[in-house]
Amino acid sequence: MEEKNENDQLDEEEDDDFECDIEKYVPYEDKISFTEKLKISGTDCLTQITKLLLEIQPQAVDDFDNGKAQLKIDLIDKDAFLKCLEILEKFKEVLEQNSNPPILKHNQSSTFNDQ
């Protein structure tokens, strides 16, 4: 039988995946997807998510006081994660609406003549 050393005990205490509490656990695949969406979300979205996390789960944010912060995705519990996803989805919808090209209306004089 193996004896646990001090490092093993520290690793267990620092477990931040909430695996023992299913109500707080966020699956790994969801974290990866969230991270990918964050990368393309834009500054306004990142700012809003960071502010939210600073309010409801400050341990998930390293604020460097120079306008930069680091989000610790593994420390975000499920409730906060879902709120962050809502923000991402709202920004995604706005981006999609704004990126649709305008419909151009052509007047009769600019169309081709039927032959």
pLDDT (0 to 100) of residue 92: 86
Domain that holds residue 87: 15-92
2 assigned to some structural domain: no
Measured CA angle at 35 (ends 89, 80), to 5 deg = 60
110 assigned to some structural domain: no
Match 């004896």 to its residue by tokens. Answer: 3
pTM: 0.66
Measured CA angle at 87 (ends 83, 91), to 5 deg = 165
Where residue 110 falls among pLDDT bands split at 50, 70, 90?
very low
48 assigned to some structural domain: yes
Phi and psi at 61, nearest 5°, equal: -130, 130
What pLDDT digit, counting tens, does each position of 16-54 carry? 555 567 778 899 999 999 999 999 898 999 999 999 999
Query: How many domains would you assign to the chain?
Result: 1
Determine the 3-state secondary structure of 94 from DSSP: helix
